[in-house]
Structures are given as C-alpha cells and as structure tokens.
Amino acid sequence: MVNEQYNRWVSHPNIDPLLKKELLSMDEKQKNDAFYTNIEFGTAGMRGLLGAGTNRINVHTIRKANVGFAKYICSMGEEAKKKGIAIGYDNRHMSKEFADDSARVLATFGITSYVFESLRPTPELSFAVRHLGCAGGIMITASHNPKEYNGYKLYDEKGCQLVPALASQVIALVNAVEDELAIETTSADESLIHVIGKEVDEEYYKNVLAIQLNPDVKKDDIKIVFTPQHGTSNIPVKTIYDRTGYHYVAVEEQCTPDPDFSMTPTPNPEEPSSYELALKYAKKEDADIVLSCDPDADRMGVAVKHHGEYVLLTGNQSGSVLIEYIFSQLKAKGRMPKNAVMFNTVVTSDLGEKIAAKYGVETEKTLTGFKFIGEKVAKYEVSHEKEYVFGYEESYGSLISPFVRDKDAPQACLMLAEAACYYHAQNKTLVDVLNGLYEELGTYQESQTSLSLSGQEGALRIKEIIQTFRNETPSEIAGVKVVANEDYGSLKRVENGKESDLVGFTKSDVLKFYLEDGSWIAVRPSGTEPKCKFYYCVKGNSVQEAKDKSAAYQKAMADAIA
C-alpha cells in the first residue's frame, strides 16, 4: 500500500516539483510516515506536517479537500455557489499559496470566493462569513502548532466550524476523490475570485469595540506587554488598543509575520517558554500584565504581575477571571439576561461553572472543539430559549460576543485589559481576583500533560492507551477512589454500578474519571497533534494541597501507561 502510493506520487506528471524532490530523498521510514494513511479531519479540521505524501499537508491534499468541499457547496444549489466562500490564512509556510489555490479550485466549480488581501485572524474569517453572507468559509492555519505544520479549517454559513454531521458529508466527498494529483485549476474563472480587506476589518473592529462593559475605566495605571507570536493578532490587537486608549508595549521582535517563528521557542501560549521574551519586556517596562496570542489569534495566554512576580494563568484560570468580571458587571448594570447560558467543554475546570451558578447563569457542556459551542450558539439564536453570555475552553480560547462563532483572542485581549484596569482601581491584581474565587468557591488546580507519539506506531499506541483505560476502568487513582466514569465513545456514564446515557453529545474518544475528593481526570487523543492528552481538575483545601494532589495524580497516570 505505502510503496504503491509512493510510486503513484513520484511518477505522476502533475506532482509539484518541490514535492517530487522531497519524495526522491525519502528513506523507508519517511515513506511510511508520509503514505501509511490519508490525512484526516480532527477536532479542528485537517492539520498536519507540511510535506509530500497523502498523510501530509501539501497543495495536492489541500486540493482534494477543496474538491470535496466544492461538491458539498454545489449540492446546496446555485444560490450557495453565488453566496460563495470566504477564505482567510495566517503567517505559516504556504498559507497564502494554499488560500489562493483554494479559491481557484472553487472557481472551477463555479463557486464565488472572497479572499483576504493578506493574513488575518481565524475569528475575523468566521466574522467575514457572516458579514458577507457567504455559504461557508476556509481558514488556512495550524493554529498554535510548531512551524512544520499547516492546516485547513472549514466553516458553515453561520461562521462555525463544521460539526461532525456536516463534516462527515464533506469527508465522504473528499474520500471519493480518486486521484488528488489529477486535480487542476487551469480552467478556473478568475472573475469569481474577489479580494477583501479593510472594509471587513473595520466592521470586525466595530463589533469588537462594542463588547466593552466599562469603556471609561481608568487606563493610566495599567501597562500591558503584548506579543502576537509572529502571527495574525499583531494589527488587530494594536488597532483595538490604540482606539480604546490602553497603554501597551509590543514585543517588536515577535510582530513580524515570520513562518519560522524565529524569535520564540514556541508560538503556543499554553507553553511557558513562549513568554520568555515578553517577560523580559515586562520586567524592563514594569508591566502589569502580559498578553500572548497564538499565530491565528484564536487563543490568548496571560501573565500577571503579583507581589512583584509574574504569574502565568492557565486557560481555565483566565477564563474564570473573565467570567467573574463579565458576569459581575452584567449583573451590576442590570444587563444579565434571565435565561443566560454559558458554554464550556467536558475537559474544562469546574470552577467556571461554580462562578456562573453564583450569578444565576446556566452552564452547558460540549465536547472539545469550539465548533460545538458555535453550534449551541446557533441553536439558541433561533429558539431564543436561552441567551448566550460567554463560552470558553481550557485551551486558552474564549468568545465574549457571538458575532464571531469561534474563539476570539482580540475580544479576549480587550476584555482582559478592561478587567485589569477595573480591579486595579480596587487595589487588586487578576491573581487576587482568582484567589478570591478560590476562597469563595473552593480551590481548584487544573493542569494538562500529554504523551507525544508520532508516526504509525505512535497512532497505534495512542489507540491502545485509550482502549486499555476503556476496558480496564481504574477503581482508584493515587489511592483515591474512582466514584464514577464517563465514556463519550459509548455515551455512557457509570456511577455506583448503575449505567446511564450521556445525552446531547456526539460520540468522541474521551474518557473521564471522577474521584471521591471532588477531582476528575480526563483522557483523550488530540485532534490536532500526535498526542494522548490527560486533563486534571483537582480540588483541594488550599492551592498547595491541590498542587500536591495534582502531582500525585499525574504520576499515577504516567505509571499506568509506562
């Protein structure tokens, strides 16, 4: 199978010359990794290593995906083809080329497209779909992954990433493409391809600025260090801060749209090393907060100066602070809806839900992937049964106002700056706010570990780990009794020997174990990287106790898969 596919590619007359050169240099292991499977859609679309092969991101696999998507749009009729597709891209290698080629493939099917003139954030692509009344969207990005990656996300007419029911239709059409190398764009009608830019930017900015709850908050005493990590948030966040009067210093070395991410160890704000240069700036400038966005600007990380030291907040912690600020202000201003609802995921901390309950806000949980939150937003937009007030994931992504249907870091940057100024006037840092929530609602220590396993062997090992935990549910972890477990693959919950259904979810390879002390641990394969992920939400009587318990649980899980 591998050699057959390799020989087909290396000898095909349409193969990209650079990809052919790479193919000719491959050893047997590289051939196997590149061809043992076809690259698949995960929790955030199609994402993988750039390079030659059916298991790589390249012009041919992107074209195959675009043919499937084009046929899906065509199945909706002529009106959908006229409405067209909005296309955005980030700073990564080949992003612009893939975006332009996507437009040409769509044009061969008579589908209109609207391509951004230059790199833009993922949330602005989601906004553009809605603003322009398109039938869908394409975003070329690998989000927070390393420089060797790129990816391809698909959006529906509501600006939401395709949920499984819709994605499965596209995937079936993609898989029906017999020869991705035979796809050509020479017949594309260039008149169907339109360039968009500042007019959409301005509408997006207008909507972001409208989220402010206290626009007149005193801003003079707070200084922000901001880094876009070489990515797409550079211009939007600077523009928003300039227009609102926040005081910021940009990490200039990381403001260039460099696809090699030369001036950062990693562009992922979940990783402490991504803050190294920004923290040097912060210490020099005596800044109050550091904000870091990932390359496609859907995630935001935070560091807060507290008692002279910079404290990194997790996505759960920054989300909890935003919930406390937003909900307290909505309530104080009499703007909290009676039927308010917040969304988070099954691997998000329990703390946010407790804060929401304090303000009378219901929490609904979804599977991992912001598309599921976007789907919920769209549902209640039609039924008016509940009114959205916030959505977030533990992975540093949130959405404040749903004029976008994906995570939106520029919105988060604006609201967190406002919160920092508001609490500073009360002589509080954002860490003080978080500690106050612990005192009021209980101390939680959230963390995540992962086991990276690349290639075919790695993929098989990840499946084996998940299946072992599924078949042999632990009765205790680190000496603490497991009182319930949930399997989102079978959509079953077991508690005290009694089985019940998990309602409102599609099937997903996620396992969750609830412990007697109020903590829980979840296990799932990453949908975007070759990793098995472990999530910990640990409850303790103090921060230190929670940290100690978390370390014990992490060791127990590591020992279990050793």
pTM above the 0.85 mark? yes
Q: What is the pLDDT of residue 526?
A: 86
Are 513 and 497 contacting, i.e. CB atoms less than 8 angstroms apart? no
Are 446 and 438 contacting, i.e. CB atoms less than 8 angstroms apart? no
CA 77 – CA 62 distance, rounded (Å): 23
Q: What is the pLDDT of residue 309?
A: 98
User: What letters, b where the CB count within 10 A reaches 16 and e where it falls short, cover 273-302?
Assistant: ebbebbbebbeeeebbbbbbbbbbbbbbbb
Q: What is the pLDDT of residue 553?
A: 97
Are 289 and 222 contacting, i.e. CB atoms less than 8 angstroms apart? yes
Copy the structure tokens of residue 62: 């992107």
Q: What is the pLDDT of residue 458?
A: 87
Phi, psi of 304 (to 5 degrees): -125, 130
CA 528 – CA 393 distance, rounded (Å): 15
Are 238 and 293 contacting, i.e. CB atoms less than 8 angstroms apart? no
Report CA-CA distances (Å) from 37 to 5, 60, 67, 185. Answer: 10, 15, 19, 25
CA 217 – CA 419 distance, rounded (Å): 9
Q: Which residues, including other chains, have CB under 8 Å from residue 466's CB and lie 6 or more apart? A: 509, 511, 523, 524, 525, 532
CA 117 – CA 94 distance, rounded (Å): 15
Between strands 136-140 and 85-89, the pairing is parallel
Largest separation between any pair of C-alpha atoms in the chain: 69
Each residue of 452-483: pLDDT tens digit?
888 888 889 999 999 999 999 999 999 999 99
The residue count for the chain:
562
Q: What angle do CA 331, 333, 336 make, to 5 degrees?
A: 40
Q: What is the pLDDT of residue 464?
A: 94
Q: What is the pLDDT of residue 487?
A: 97
Which domains are assigned to the chain? 2-196 (3.40.120.10), 206-426 (3.40.120.10), 443-561 (3.30.310.50)
Helix (H, G, I), strand (E, B) or coil at 205: helix
Q: What is the pLDDT of residue 530?
A: 84
Helix (H, G, I), strand (E, B) or coil at 253: helix
Where the chain has pLDDT below 70, the residues are: 42-44
Nearest to 90 by CA among 274, 269, 261, 242: 261
Copy the structure tokens of residue 381: 């937009």
CA 557 – CA 562 distance, rounded (Å): 9
CA 329 – CA 325 distance, rounded (Å): 6
Q: What is the pLDDT of residue 44?
A: 63
CA 297 – CA 386 distance, rounded (Å): 28
Partner residues linked to 94 by β-bridges: none
Phi, psi of 27 (to 5 degrees): -90, 180
Q: Which residues, including other chains, have CB under 8 Å from residue 433's CB and lie 6 or more apart? A: 321, 324, 325, 419, 423
Q: Where are the beta strands (DSSP E) in 346-408?
A: 362-366, 387-393, 397-399
Are 367 and 524 contacting, i.e. CB atoms less than 8 angstroms apart? no
Phi, psi of 83 (to 5 degrees): -60, -40
Q: What is the pLDDT of residue 456?
A: 85
CA 426 – CA 333 distance, rounded (Å): 18
Nearest to 127 by CA among 203, 197, 210: 203
Each residue of 65-122: pLDDT tens digit?
999 999 999 999 999 999 999 999 999 999 999 999 999 999 999 999 999 999 999 9
**Which of the 8 DSSP states describes residue 162?**
P
Copy the structure tokens of residue 339: 């039927």
Q: What angle do CA 257, 260, 265 make, to 5 degrees?
A: 105
Phi, psi of 422 (to 5 degrees): -60, -50
Report DSSP letters for 415-469, one per residue: HHHHHHHHHHTTT--HHHHHHHHHHHH-EEEEEEEEEE--HHHHHHHHHHHHHHH
CA 381 – CA 136 distance, rounded (Å): 18
CA 223 – CA 359 distance, rounded (Å): 30
Report DSSP letters for 49-101, one per residue: EBSSSTTSBSHHHHHHHHHHHHHHHHTT-HHHHHH-EEEEE-SSTTHHHHHHH
Active site residue 143: yes
Of the candidates 143, 320, 398, 508, the residue annotated as catalytic is: 143
Can you state the angle between helices 164-175 and 59-74, rounded to 10 degrees?
Answer: 120
CA 513 – CA 520 distance, rounded (Å): 6
Are 482 and 440 contacting, i.e. CB atoms less than 8 angstroms apart? no
